[in-house]
Amino acid sequence: MTLLSLADIHAAARRLDDVTVRTPLLPCPWAGDAARSLLLKPENLQVTGSFKLRGAYNRLASLSAEERRRGVVAQSSGNHGKALAYAGRLLGVEVTVVVPGTAAQVKVDAIRHQGATVREVPAAELATTTRMLAEEYGYVVVPPFDDLGIIAGQGTVGSEIFEQTARLGVVPDTVVVPVSGGGLISGVAAALKQLLPGIRVVGVEPELAADARESLHSGHRVSWPTRLTGRTIADGMRSSSVGTIPFAHIQEYVDDIVTVSEDEIRDTVAVLARESHIVVEPSGAVATAAYLHRGDDLPAGKLYVCVVSGGNIDSGGLPHAVHCRPPAAVLPEPARRTMALEMRDRCERCERPLLIEAPSARICSYECTFCVSCSDAMQDTCPNCGGELVARPRRTPSATAEPTNGPPGR
C-alpha cells in the first residue's frame, strides 16, 4: 500500500493555508517538573472545534468540478460532519452527514447550522446508510479516516508541530495523539517520522474502545462491536476499528498505543479547563490524560507534545466534568458535597426532580441521572453522552422540588 509522502502533507498545508488556524503550542508549567514537560497542540481552537477541518477541507478542495456538483455524503460521530459542512459551505458543495443516534447534540446542531443535511441512524447502520445514499443520489463518499486525502490534511498537525518546536529550538521526545479510526495519528506520525526519525509517536484510546491497541499488538485489524465501543464518554472514539489505510500507517510509524480510563478522561477535561483555560471534549482529552495519568506507559523522555483534538462538548458536559470532580486542594469537602447533590437533583432528560427511589432509576458512566419513567423508556445508552446506563444507587429524595412541564427538546 502507498503511504503518505511529505509532499502530500505539504500540498495539503498549502490548501489549508488561509482556511485552518495554525494552532499554537501551549506550554503547561502546571503539568511539568524537573524531569519532563508538556506542550499542548490545542486543535479545539480550530474554527469548527476540532482537527477534522484539516482533512475535510483538503479532501473537498481536491474534488473534480463534476464531483463537486454531485455533492458528498459522510458518516461521522459529529466532528468530521461539522468540518465537512463548514468546508462544503466555503467551496459550494452540498453535504449530507450520517450520524449515530448517540451523537452529541452540540455537533448535530452545528452540522445543520452550516446548512448540511443530517441523517440520524443506529451506530451499527452508519456505513450501510452512507453507501445507500451515495448509490441513490450519486454523492461522493468522503470517509472520516480511511482516505489518503483526509490523512494528508490531518498530517498538517504533525508538520506544524515539527515547525513550531524547531522555532522554539527544541525537539520533542514523544508526541501523543488520540486514535479511533486512525486518520489523525496516521497523518501526524507520517509527517513526524519522516521529518524526525528519532521521535516517538504514541496513540491513546479509551480502555472501553481499545480496538486500535489490540490491532497494533496482534498485527491485524481487530473490530470491536459498537455495543462495546459505545460505552465510552469519548464520543469521537467509538469507531469499531481503525481503517485499512490508517492501519498500514500505524504499523509503519506508530510506536505504541496506550489506553486511559473514563475517570482519567473526565478528570483531564476538568484539569484542562482549570489549568490551561481551554474547553475540551472527552475525545480531545485522551492524549493529555495519558500524559497525566499513565506516564509510566509512555516512552521515557523530557519533552512531550499532546494533541488536544477537539472541544465540541455538550453544554452539560463541561460543568459536569469541572464541578463533579474538583481536586481536594481547590474545594473544601462540604462545598464538593453540595455541588454533587445539585448536579443530581433533577432528571437530565425531562428535568423533573428525582423524587422517587427505585431500582429502575439509572445513572450513566458520565453520571447523568434519569428518573424512573425516563430510564424505563430508554435503551441502555444515555441520550446525553452515550455512556452505558446502569441501575442508580439509592439516594435521599429531595423534599422541596416541584415537577416541571414535560421534557425539553434535545
Residues in touch with ligand PLP (CB under 6 A): 50, 77, 79-80, 144-145, 178-185, 236-237, 239, 281, 283-284, 309-310
**380 three-state secondary structure:** coil
Q: Compute the least distance from the CB of residue 184 to ligand PLP, in Å.
A: 4
Q: Nearest 5 degrees, angle CA 4-CA 211-CA 59?
A: 30
CB–CB of 55/83 below 8 Å? yes
Residues of 294-328 as b/e, b for ≥16 C-beta within 10 angstroms?
beeebeeeebbbbbbbbbbbbebbbebbbebbbee
Distance of CA 370 to the CA centre of its chain: 25
Q: 240, 309, 365, 375: which is the annotated catalytic residue?
A: 309
Is 302 annotated in the active site? no
DSSP state string for 26-58: EE-GGG--SS-EEEEEEGGGSTTSBTHHHHHHH
Q: 52, 82, 107, 193: which is the annotated catalytic residue?
A: 52
Nearer to ligand PLP, 42 or 383 (CB): 42
Q: Compute the least distance from the CB of residue 379 to ligand PLP, in Å.
A: 22
Q: Compute the least distance from the CB of residue 286 to ligand PLP, in Å.
A: 8
Identity of the residue numbered 378: M
386 Ramachandran zone, left/alpha/beta (phi>0; psi -120 to 50): left
Q: Compute the least distance from the CB of residue 327 to ligand PLP, in Å.
A: 25
Q: Compute the least distance from the CB of residue 237 to ligand PLP, in Å.
A: 6
Nearer to ligand PLP, 160 or 347 (CB): 160
Tell how strand 117-121 and strand 95-100 pair up.
Answer: parallel
Nearer to ligand PLP, 229 or 369 (CB): 229
**Crossing angle between the packed helical segments 79-91 and 105-113, to the nearest 10 degrees:** 10
Is 52 annotated in the active site? yes
Nearer to ligand PLP, 184 or 196 (CB): 184
C-alpha cell of residue 27: 506550554
Nearer to ligand PLP, 182 or 383 (CB): 182
Annotated catalytic residues are 52, 309
